[in-house]
């Protein structure tokens, strides 16, 4: 590396680069996954999980309702048997 003082433009630095081989490998970079895609994917997964959660709640309510109806039917049958046995 040489530093030369040039009165017209100030100091300049000259750097000579030497490569042992004349072959080179060209690397290219491409944006495959940008910010918009990330936000869209996060929103899609959140919607999927929220939908699954809502379906689970609906199934839970249906099961709870079926159990409640079965208990009411059993009590009704027991009441009818009790009334029939008392008469």
Beta pairing partners, 14: 2
Q: Phi first, then psi: what are they for 11, rounded to 5°?
A: -80, 145
- C-alpha span between 16 and 32 (Å, rounded): 37
| pLDDT digits 0-9 by tens, 26-66 | 889 888 889 999 999 999 999 999 999 999 999 999 999 99
Please tell me the predicted confidence (pLDDT) of residue 1: 54
Q: What is the pLDDT of residue 31?
A: 84
Output the pTM of the full model. 0.47
Instruction: Compute the residue count for the chain.
Output: 87
Q: Which two tokens stand for residue 10?
A: 């100030």
């Amino acid at each position: 590396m040489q530093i030369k003082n040039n009165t017209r433009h100030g100091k300049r630095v000259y750097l000579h680069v030497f490569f042992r081989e004349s072959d080179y490998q060209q690397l290219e970079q491409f944006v495959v996954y940008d910010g918009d895609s990330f936000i869209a994917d996060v929103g899609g997964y959140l919607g999927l999980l929220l939908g699954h959660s809502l379906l689970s709640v609906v199934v839970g309510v249906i099961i709870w309702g079926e159990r409640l109806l079965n208990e009411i039917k059993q009590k009704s049958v027991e009441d009818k048997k009790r009334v029939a046995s008392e008469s």
